[in-house]
Amino acid sequence: MFNILNRKKPEINDSPEKVVEASKAPSTPKRQKYHLNIDKQALKKLDLVTVAYSHVEREWFPTKDSYEAEVEVEDRAAEVAEVIKKLGINVKAIPGNQYFLTNLLVDKPNVVLNLVDTLKGKDTLQTSVPAALELSNIPYTGAGMTGMVIGNDRNLTKRLLMAYDVPTPAFQYIRRAGTAVQSDLGTPLIVKLCGSGGSVGIDNKAVKETLRDAQRKVDKMITTYKQPVIVEQFIDGPEITVCVFDDGTKKHVWMGQKIFRTKPDGKHFFTSIESYEDARAYKYTHVSEPLQTKLARLSVRAFNALQHKDYAKFDVRYDELTGIPYFTDSNPNTAFGPDMGLPFTEVAAMHGIAFEDIVASLLTKYAKQLK
């Protein structure tokens, strides 16, 4: 068990006085134009692109929520495949099951667009996909083995963020039910699974106002999901989605602040798993300066530190009192698809970037590597 307290530490080179003063009078957001690297001639080199997705069965997941969070990926893979087909590229979608590598060795795709989130219901087995592709010398999109290991471990993610001077809320890593939540974390607190992405386990009552309630949540989640948890200091303030896309020539950053319709628990604004079923749960608005520039710089730093590749999404909570943006979660290989309900796609569209162009740019990078 570890306890990390760093909430009061401002980002280096930014004094609290200057940051707070700037946050009180934000300027108009920068509305810059994004030009992604797309080469239609290079795309003609691609004979076949494979879209790999998670093979999901209900019995592999401890709860209905965790199952439903993953089962949608097959439909999403079909949608991505359709976008690739419209680019004039042959495409095939295949599940990440026991026949996965055999199918790839037979089909011999130029590149695999990797949408595999879980294997046999376990996020930690994600690394098997890039490992198999590395051994087979098949290019693939998204994070590699190291990036996947980091991305599936909130404890490791937060420690690396701290090492690279990217603010993250104070937290405690707990492996066993019954381990006491440390009082110096303060309240309110939010409890998250250490090794699961998205909002699995984060329901409308996830934020706890007392140590006693947080303790109950810790014990219940460890017992239910059979994995460690992170107890994190909850940062009241705006929640911001930050997306990073590396087109091979530049790391593009676009972001959106969530404007919530209601407080899930009546006290705090945050994204819960129930909100996924409510299309009106929140909407996005542009982030103002100087926060926009500051977040862009920190996001690229975090992207590199966590060994992400191609694209990723960060969740940030902005403490308006101190002017510090806290990176609460990192999602390498974040949900990728044309549906506007997906944060990465929705935020990109808000900045005038079509999903079709993102796919074309992503595949351009790999097509240019072909001889």
Q: Which tens digit of pLDDT belongs to each residue from 218-248?
A: 999 999 989 999 999 999 999 999 999 999 9
pLDDT in tens, 25-64: 445 555 677 889 999 999 999 999 999 988 767 776 777 7
Pairing of strands 49-54, 91-96: parallel
Categorize the per-residue pLDDT at 20 as very low, low, confident or very high, splitting at 50, 70 and 90.
very low
CA–CA separation, 292 and 263 (whole Å): 25
pLDDT at 271: 84
Categorize the per-residue pLDDT at 193 as very low, low, confident or very high, splitting at 50, 70 and 90.
very high
In this prediction, residues 66-94 reach a mean pLDDT of 88
Categorize the per-residue pLDDT at 113 as very low, low, confident or very high, splitting at 50, 70 and 90.
very high
Residue 312, pLDDT > 90, answer: yes
CA–CA separation, 253 and 272 (whole Å): 25
Q: The dihedral of CA 97, 98, 101, 106: what is its sign? A: negative
Query: Are 96 and 170 in contact, with CB atoms under 8 Å apart?
Result: no
150-332 maps to which CATH number? 3.30.470.20
pLDDT at 346: 96
pLDDT at 3: 40
Say which residue, 21 or 143, is predicted with more confidence.
Answer: 143
Per domain, the residue ranges of the chain are 40-142, 150-332
pLDDT at 16: 36
Query: Are 215 and 181 in contact, with CB atoms under 8 Å apart?
Result: yes
Judge if 40-142 and 150-332 fold alike in CATH terms.
no
pLDDT at 15: 38
Query: Are 367 and 45 in contact, with CB atoms under 8 Å apart?
Result: yes
Q: CATH 1.10.150.20: does it fit domain 40-142?
A: no
Categorize the per-residue pLDDT at 266 as very low, low, confident or very high, splitting at 50, 70 and 90.
confident
pLDDT at 128: 85
pLDDT at 260: 92
Query: Are 253 and 243 in contact, with CB atoms under 8 Å apart?
Result: yes
**Per-residue b or e along 273-283, where b marks 16 or more CB atoms closer than 10 Å to that residue's CB:** bebbeeeebbe
pLDDT at 6: 41
pLDDT in tens, 122-154: 666 778 889 889 999 999 999 999 999 999 899
Categorize the per-residue pLDDT at 371 as very low, low, confident or very high, splitting at 50, 70 and 90.
confident
The DSSP-derived string for 266-317 is: SS-----GGGGG-TTSEEEEPPPBTHHHHHHHHHHHHHHHTT--SEEEEEEE
Mean pLDDT of the chain: 87
Categorize the per-residue pLDDT at 120 as very low, low, confident or very high, splitting at 50, 70 and 90.
low
pLDDT > 70: what percent of the chain?
86
pLDDT in tens, 287-302: 999 999 999 999 999 9
Among 19-28, 154-163, 261-270, 283-292, where is mean pLDDT lowest? 19-28
pLDDT at 127: 84
Burial of residue 95 (CB within 10 Å: 0-12, 13-18, 19+) is middle
Q: pTM of the prediction?
A: 0.87
pLDDT at 1: 38
